[in-house]
Structure 1
């Protein structure tokens, strides 16, 4: 399709480690060969224990995440406890599938800590709402490079620092080979104690 050359590039990664998950995405927003922004944010906090990293159309991911955050907040008031990541993943899946004839052009990684089991969880979704659970995931134009780096070094028993370092290594590899990705990384680290956000520039050398 002629429109494919204007699809925005991106690299987003999610990794589950022993005590939580790391979600990260690079900052570059491109439109074809034109760099629209070097400070786009593609990582979103949904609840205190669930977040998302996205690739694709920034407007689509922003409006979807706002909707999901609002519904999750209302649901938590209703059930009087936090909404677990699998429920957030199913909600996003339904919202995407409802729009399947005019889809939201975004790929999503949902990650968080299950409020019942205290175990980390990662889910990957495509624009039509397909949902797949996994220990790690990568989406976007740089996904092929990133997933190869993760697979070569991933261990389920990694600690937070090891998972963070592997996430940065994966995105750095993607940025070095994908012209549509770059300009820094936004990161969300979620554990049973809560979540923390981090933003940093990448050094490729």
Structure 2
């Protein structure tokens, strides 16, 4: 009797035009290889940058988190410390970046407990790349820049300068398994504007104050043109003694300083013209 009812229900369903034209899915999401579309397009935007110089590694990022056209959080933290001598700059989906940062920090801590030493930045980048590669082609969105120090601590009488023997390391790792080593990286929707400042001003012989100024200027220029970047700038300096965090700076102060500087230059040009 139950079998007859089931056959009858299937027959009616196949003949009912309303049921056949229903918008209900024909199969469950987990039974199909096709990805389920998001209810609305996700627009990711950020500006993160890092570069190496004789004083270590300087990393900077804005603090605006966006979701489509909405500013979801104006004070997010995109530079995440992993251990005492390694930080990660994150770009992509905030939840994915936070999760994989915790996973990487756990694995590095376990390695240190087992072997009595820290895993190198190169090893950490390779580990993260191998863990992310199986998720290639999925909705996972993680783009991380790992900034670390692999050399021993300098003595009390040293000047804190590094040599180009790769004591400082810089790696870019993406959720598709990409792993790149370099001396300068900028990631995010504001990176083209940041590169215009970095390519012009970054060189090995920078002092700490000069590196800080260039990093702040690059983030400011990116936020000035990119709507998905903005609010404040965070800066980290990685040396042989570990990472240190600079005070968070509001970029609107840089905007007003820029206006005053342009006003002063305009006044000087006008005075020179009148004197001529």
Q: Which bracket does the TM-score occupy, shorter chain normalised?
A: over 0.9
1:87 to 123, 135, 140: 123
- Look at both structures and tell me which one has the larger radius of gyration over its CA atoms: 2
Number of the residue aligned with 1:164: 212
Taking the TM superposition and a 5 Å limit, the aligned residue runs for 1:168-187 are 168-187=216-235
Number of the residue aligned with 1:135: 183
- Provide the secondary structure at the position in 1 that maps to 2:228: coil
User: How far off is 1:129 after superposition?
Assistant: 1.7
* Consecutive aligned runs of 4 or more in structure 1 exceeding 6 Å deviation: 1-4
**TM-score, normalised relative to structure 2:** 0.70
User: How far off is 1:4 after superposition?
Assistant: 8.8
2:55 to 3, 15, 19: 19
Q: Check 1:192–1:103 CA distance in 2 against 1; reply closer, same or farther (3 A cut).
A: farther
User: How far off is 1:118 after superposition?
Assistant: 6.8
In proportion to residue count, which structure has more strand?
1
In proportion to residue count, which structure has more helix?
2
User: How far off is 1:103 after superposition?
Assistant: 4.8
Tell me, in whole angstroms, the C-alpha distance in 2 between the residues paired with 1:140 and 1:122: 17
User: How far off is 1:106 after superposition?
Assistant: 2.1
CA contact (8 A) 1:42 1:53 kept: yes
Q: Using CA pairs below 8 Å that are at least 6 residues apart, which structure has the higher relative contact order?
A: 1
Stretch deviating more after TM superposition (154-163 or 51-60): 154-163
Tell me, in whole angstroms, the C-alpha distance in 2 between the residues paired with 1:4 and 1:26: 25
Tell me, in whole angstroms, the C-alpha distance in 2 between the residues paired with 1:82 and 1:161: 29
Question: 5+ unaligned residues in a row in structure 2: which ranges?
Answer: 1-36, 153-164, 259-276
Q: Structure 1, residues 64-112: CA drift from partner, whole Å, max 9, x if none?
A: 1011111111111111112221111111111211211325212111111
Tell me, in whole angstroms, the C-alpha distance in 1 between the residues paired with 2:244 and 2:142: 24
Tell me, in whole angstroms, the C-alpha distance in 2 between the residues paired with 1:86 and 1:32: 34
Question: 5+ unaligned residues in a row in structure 1: which ranges?
Answer: none
Tell me, in whole angstroms, the C-alpha distance in 2 between the residues paired with 1:62 and 1:183: 21
Tell me, in whole angstroms, the C-alpha distance in 1 between the residues paired with 2:108 and 2:39: 34
How many aligned residue pairs are there?
205
